[in-house]
Every structure is written in structure tokens, then in C-alpha cells.
Structure 1
Amino acid sequence: MARTVVPYSSLVANGSLAQPAGTTIDQSNGMYIAAARPELTILRVANTNGTDRVVTIKAGDNPPALAGGQGDLAVTVAATSGVQFIGPFESGRFIQADGTIEIDFAASFAGTITAFRVPRGT
């Protein structure tokens, strides 16, 4: 099946952003960020499962991700109410050929994910 999209929530330069609800994690199919800007992307991953779970940012395709050979980035998110901020990312390691960032989750991972886009040049 197809991965589920994670939309961007844009941070506001010299302003504020109310905490977004986030997107429910699709651990079965994985998720992706379309038209990704890796260097301007920060993920907020919340785990509601009763045990620690791992989220994996997939290494990119070579080309364009010439450093994709460094492999995936696996991050453990604490159980029950754990929240982990991950990123920003190097496009040279994580961008896919179609311009996406792909994200996988351990079995039984439950919770939400939010992709924040940092504003450029304020």
C-alpha cells in the first residue's frame, strides 16, 4: 500500500504557531513528506504505546542523496507520553529521488507525527 503523507506545519518568523494536532501515525504503510525541504524540516513524534518504539528516517536514493550510504536514522521514542524532536536533516543523506522524505515506524507504534518547516531568511 501507499505511504501516508505528513503535511507541513510552517513555523512563523517573528510570530507564533499553536501546537498542531499532528497526523496519526501509519505504522503499517509508513509515511512521507512531499516536496520536502530537509534542511528546514523538524519532526515532532509522539508515542502513545505502552513501550518504547523506534521511528526510522529512511536513507535517500543515490542520486540525489550522495550520502545516503550512511544509512537510515533510527530514533527511540519513550513509552506512553514520549515526544521526540528529530531534525533538521541533510538532503544529501535523506532526500528520495522523487523529492520526499520517507519515515518508517516499528510495529505497534501509536501516536502522532508533525512535520515543521522552519522559515528561511527572516
Structure 2
Amino acid sequence: MARTAVAYSTLVSNSNLSDPAGTAVSSGAGNGGQVSAARPELTLLRLSNASGGSGTATVLAGTQPLAIASGQGNLAVTVANSGTQWIGPFESGRFLQSDGSLIVETSVAMTMTAFRVPRNT
């Protein structure tokens, strides 16, 4: 299988957003979810696990030259069975891929939602 595209749900300034269902992502290396045209500093990820066992979500370190701090490595977060973890925001200099995306691989099937925090000026 390939990575599943996960679209942004943009939080709304001075208003509300109905709780999005999220996107089912499969497990294993080369699978998981991918947020295209990512803005890591404005991104929060919600990962929900109902697989029957604890799992790990790993945000992959980016690639040079965009991710100059990629040497710090991946970010791995444990998501308990029937649990939800929120992770982010992220550093572009560590996690941005060469195609401008964020990639999350999971050890078990999970539901992933990418939230974009709006910038008020």
C-alpha cells in the first residue's frame, strides 16, 4: 500500500469547526499518512487508535536542504489502544520533506486528522 493523503481541517478564527472524522491510515513502513503542502509550524495532528493494541506514530525527519535539522531524527509517539494523541506543531527545519509534505508512519492502523492553525494578522 502507499501513504494515504490527509487533507487539512483548518481551525476557524473567532468561530468554530465541527469535529472532523479524520482519515484512516494503514500501518507499516512506506504506509501511514502524508499531509501535502504542509505548514509544519501551523500543524497539529490528532491520532486515534482503535486497533486493539498500543501503537506508535512516527513523524519522519525531513530531507535536506529544506530540513536542515533533520539529523535530530524522527519523532515517535505512543498511542494507547482506544486512545488519542495530539502532536505538533512541528519545526519545518526538522520534519519538512523535499516535496513540502509531512509524513507520519504508524505501527497499527489509526485515524489521523491534520489541523491547520490560522494566522491572525
Q: TM-score, normalised by structure 2?
A: 0.94
Aligned to 2:56: 54
Q: Within the alignment, does 1:39 sit opposite 2:38 as a pair? A: no
CA distance in 1, matches of 2:65, 2:16: 37
The RMSD of aligned alpha carbons is 1.1
Q: Secondary structure at the match of 1:112?
A: strand
* Structure 2 portions without partners, runs of 5+: none
User: What residue number does 1:121 align with?
Assistant: 120
Distance 1:64 1:111 in 2: 28
Task: Give the partner amino acid of 2:120.
Answer: G
- Fraction of identical pairs, as percent: 57
Q: For residue 90 of structure 2, what is the amino acid of its counterpart? A: F
Looking at structure 1, the residues matched to 5 and 110 of structure 2 have their Cα atoms a distance apart, in angstroms, of: 15
TM-score (structure 1 length as normaliser)? 0.93
> How far apart in 1 are the matches of 2:100 and 2:110?
25
CA offset digits 1:87-111 (Å, max 9, x no partner):
00000000011100111011xx123
**Unpaired runs of 5+ in structure 1?**
none
Moved over 6 A (4+): none
> 2:5 matched to which residue of 1?
5
Structure-2 change in CA distance of 1:2 and 1:51 (3 Å): closer
